[in-house]
Amino acid sequence: MQDLESAVAVVGMSGRFPGAPDLESYWANLRDGVCSISALSEKELLADGADPAELRNPAYVPAQGRLEDADRFEADLFGFSRTEAAALDPQHRVLLETAWSALEDAGRAPLTAPPAAAAAGPSRTGVYVGGSPTEHALAAGTDPALAASIGALQVRILTDREFLAPWISYRLGLDGPSMTVQTACSTSLTAVHLAVQALLLGECDTALAGGVAIGSVRRQGYVHYQGGIFSPDGRCRPFDEKAAGTVPGSGVGVLVLRRLVDALADGDPVRAVIRGTAVTNDGAGKVGFTAPGVDQQTAAIAEAWAAAGLEPSAAQYLEAHGTGTELGDRIELEAASAAFAGGDGIGLGSVKSNIGHADAAAGAAALIKTILMLEHATLAPTVDVTSPLAALDRSPLRLVTEAEEWPSRDGLPRLAGVTSVGIGGTNVHVVVQEAPGRRARAGSATRPVVLPLSARTEPQLALLADRLATRLRAADAPALRDVAHTLRTGRVGMPVRAYVVAGEAREAADRLTALAEGRRDTRTDPLGEAWLRGEEVTWPALDGEAGRVRLPTYPFAGERYGAMTLRKAAAQRTEAPEAPSPAPRNELEDQVAALVVEALDLTGAADLAQSYFEAGGDSLTAVHLAGRLRDELGIEVPIQLFLEPVTLRDMTTQICELKRNGAADSALDALLSEFEAES
């Protein structure tokens, strides 16, 4: 491989996309040509708050590239209380977990600074990510009770996408540059470009790069407008004569990057190599602000391949932006055909046909798809295409519509380009190369090794053991010493612990299966027993040279925290103009007391003799409790009531009096009415 000094290794990846909670299922869907865009039923839409009148609109399209379980979050793992987690935007939650998994995929422990590369000085890990606008953030910004209780700044910190990168740096203890990137649809590929540049300039030694897009956790369709960007039938057909628009999608993807020379020296699990990147903007050279331009898309491709020291004609595949819009596809095809003019039969595709347009995460989805294709030496098809654009007949590009082998060639590795284009004109292109063959290391395990495992709960530990057993039974199972090294240095020690002792992979798999099934291993080890007791263990050197390998990552098991929504608040305003009749005094006090006990996690009514703060209450819990009192009992409670130095029992009585006196705060309704009138 030439010019290693300017190459960057992808050493870890993690992502969640429509129909795919992990990258294994993502690849299976891509390989098999699965369209993961959901067709939503009227029942599902109504259950998630859709307006019945909107559903009757003939132009309403009940389709969505939906990310399942987007409102789940393992808050305790990241140091958030339940009430903080409820206020935190779902994009932040999902991105934090994905960043954690990406680091583990790289064989590096989150919360632990990676060792510095040889002669590279102190190690720093940078974060370069971006996100999309969200319904949760909009609803939080128009909730006066939330602002009154925790302040407008705190609302921004917990919900605004500009804090996506800082939250990752703070919660994972990463002290390199931390930047939230926003270039519309090209956000996450721009983040990769910036991360690559930072690594090459020495601003950091490891970098996380990617993006997230979860506009809403609700099931929702969209209204198709003639001439708009959205498809009339809920399908995205890139580079097809019948292409009529894209479909809104969600997703999240994070890549871990290091300088290639450092990754190879440290024995990192290199998944692919980024040879060059470039960013341009169309400026005024296009018909309108939202329209793409030909010349600067061509320039981005040419500049990226020049940075790689390669001719564009060396490419075998182009993962295009490919929105499936008539104007966008034709301009992109014209630009790419000019850039790759010296090539022939270069494959072309777009992941948007599979998952829809993931907005700020679209570039990460495309880059991860390309890396997976390189790893499997297989070109995945662009789906739902029946009539490729006629212009392809005069182009060096050909649309890939069926899965096919990605052939190797003499003298050159497999090479691909990935393009992302943002509204506003920011064009990004990345040149990706297959990973170099991992050099064989002398020696093998000559004695049994301890494989330590840990999780936050027993079920998660069992699931982790089962997944690791499956990995060790695979035909390409890693060397056991590498597995032991990765588990010892690349995972965070958690409270629930176990270990197995084995001398080879098959034995380890069998013992891990027994562990997953609840059968205790009779084979023990003194250091393993110290690990079980929660002690800091200094593991002995392993036989032979050990490196990091990809192993199953932490199985998150968070509960649902939901998301704030504008529709629910609007429905409460329009559909419930009259407050329900007050419950009898004793019944209402019992209901309020029960909510207070549950919100503060008290043992029972006896704990109501203490004050709110003595019971462990905080401002976010107050917001949560006020919301439940409003939603479930129709009582508008001023946040200041929770701050008064009275017992919880007296506070409960005061809340009941508010109900009986009909007191209400109409500020929320007024703000929401204004917001919806403007939107």
CA distances from 513 to 73, 319, 478, 501, 557 (A): 27, 40, 17, 13, 20
DSSP state of 37: -
d(CA 58, CA 233): 11
In SS3 terms, 617-668 reads as: CCHHHHHHHHHHHHHHHCCCCCCHHHHCCCEHHHHHHHHHHHHHHCCCCCHH
User: Do the Cβ atoms of 109 and 489 come closer than 8 Å?
Assistant: yes
Looking at per-residue confidence, does 19 or 3 come out higher? 19
User: Do the Cβ atoms of 19 and 67 come closer than 8 Å?
Assistant: no
User: Do the Cβ atoms of 296 and 281 come closer than 8 Å?
Assistant: yes
d(CA 356, CA 661): 51
Helices 667-678 and 566-575, axial angle in degrees (round to 10): 110
- Which helix (H) or strand (E) is 72 found in, with range? strand 72-73
Q: How confident is the model at residue 3 (pLDDT cuts 50, 70, 90)?
A: low
* In the predicted structure, residue 152 carries a pLDDT above the cut 50: yes
156 phi, psi to nearest 5 deg: -60, -45
Structure tokens at 257: 């990057």
User: Do the Cβ atoms of 555 and 460 come closer than 8 Å?
Assistant: yes
d(CA 74, CA 92): 12
Closest alpha carbon to 128 in 84, 94, 95, 83: 95
If one counts every other C-beta atom within 10 angstroms of the C-beta of residue 241, the result is 14
* In the predicted structure, residue 670 carries a pLDDT above the cut 70: no
If one counts every other C-beta atom within 10 angstroms of the C-beta of residue 215, the result is 22
**Roughly how many angstroms between the first and final C-alpha of the chain, as a whole number?**
54
Going by DSSP bridges, is the β-strand pair 426-434/272-281 parallel, antiparallel, or unpaired?
antiparallel
How much is the average pLDDT of 193-203?
A: 97
Residues paired with residue 559 on neighbouring β-strands, in sequence order? 73
* In the predicted structure, residue 575 carries a pLDDT above the cut 70: no
**What pLDDT score does 606 carry?**
79
Q: What is the pLDDT of residues 47-101, one digit of tens each?
A: 998 999 999 999 999 999 999 999 999 999 999 988 889 899 999 999 999 999 9
246 phi, psi to nearest 5 deg: -105, 180
Q: How confident is the model at residue 667 (pLDDT cuts 50, 70, 90)?
A: very low
**What pLDDT score does 632 carry?**
84
User: Do the Cβ atoms of 146 and 229 come closer than 8 Å?
Assistant: no
DSSP state of 48: T
Structure tokens at 24: 């294994």
Which residues, other chains included, contact 76 with Cβ-Cβ below 8 Å and sequence gap of 6+? 456
User: Do the Cβ atoms of 432 and 273 come closer than 8 Å?
Assistant: yes
User: Do the Cβ atoms of 419 and 334 come closer than 8 Å?
Assistant: no
**Mean pLDDT, all residues of the chain:** 89
Q: How confident is the model at residue 662 (pLDDT cuts 50, 70, 90)?
A: low
Closest alpha carbon to 346 in 292, 305, 408, 399: 399
Cβ burial, residue 394 (10 Å; 0-12/13-18/19+): exposed
Looking at per-residue confidence, does 123 or 308 come out higher? 308
DSSP state of 183: B
Write the Ramachandran bin of 119: left for phi over 0, alpha for psi from -120 to 50, otherwise beta: left
220 phi, psi to nearest 5 deg: -155, 145
Q: Give the chain's count of helices (H) and strands (E).
A: 25, 21
**What pLDDT score does 567 carry?**
66
Q: How confident is the model at residue 581 (pLDDT cuts 50, 70, 90)?
A: very low
Q: Could you give the residue ranges of the DSSP H alpha helices within 12-89?
A: 23-31, 42-47, 52-55, 82-87
**What pLDDT score does 612 carry?**
84
The 8 Å CB, 24+ separation contacts for 458-462 are: 458/496, 459/557, 460/496, 460/554, 460/555, 460/557, 461/496, 461/497, 461/498, 462/515, 462/516, 462/517, 462/518
Q: What is the pLDDT of residues 400-417, one digit of tens each?
A: 999 999 999 998 999 999
Closest alpha carbon to 14 in 453, 273, 263, 368: 368
Centroid of chain to Cα 56: 33
* Lowest-confidence pick of 132-136, 291-295, 618-622: 618-622
**What pLDDT score does 147 carry?**
74
**What pLDDT score does 678 carry?**
33
**What pLDDT score does 584 carry?**
54
The DSSP secondary structure of 527-592, one letter per residue, reads HHHHHHTT----PPPPSS-------------PEE-----HHHHHHHHHH--SPPPPPPHHHHHHHH
Closest alpha carbon to 370 in 298, 430, 423: 430
Q: What is the pLDDT of residues 512-548, one digit of tens each?
A: 999 999 998 889 999 999 999 999 999 998 877 889 9
* In the predicted structure, residue 573 carries a pLDDT above the cut 60: no
**What pLDDT score does 446 carry?**
61
